[in-house]
Amino acid sequence: MKKISVLALLAIMPICGAFAGPGKNTNGNMNNQPAVWTVTEVVSLPDDTPVVMRGRITKNMGNNIFVFEDGSGTIMLEIDEEDWNGNTVRVDDIVTVYGNVDKGPNYTEVDVESIVK
């Protein structure tokens, strides 16, 4: 009797998984596309987590520090000259930012690796 119950459970498990729907998995991918994180999500991630964000760079603070906004909030980006990839970005441009979370004792920012306009 127990064997039949176990077999029945194993038979329906794949069916249940089909209804689970998509979601961010542990490597940040969804359907083989990079997961786009919101600022609200990024500030809660651990240091050195790779992230992809989409939004606008709204202000240059100097010393390679910029303000980024995506509708959920704002966060500072550190963007070195080579990370711009030749892009000229204006305030109204939507950009995709690839980088890593950089956490300090009193701040969270993203160290940008590249930007796509």
Q: What is the mean pLDDT of residues 78-90?
A: 94
Q: For residue 102, tell me if it sits in a domain.
A: yes
pLDDT at 30: 53
- φ/ψ of 94, rounded to 5, equals -85, 130
pLDDT band at 34 (very low <50, low <70, confident <90, very high): confident
CATH of the domain at 91: 2.40.50.200
Task: Give the count of domains, the chain.
Answer: 1
Q: What are 35-78's pLDDT values in tens digits? A: 999 999 999 999 999 999 999 999 999 999 999 999 999 999 99
pLDDT at 5: 46
User: How far is C-alpha 48 from the geometric centre of its chain's CA atoms?
Assistant: 12
Reported pTM: 0.72
Average of per-residue pLDDT values in the chain: 82
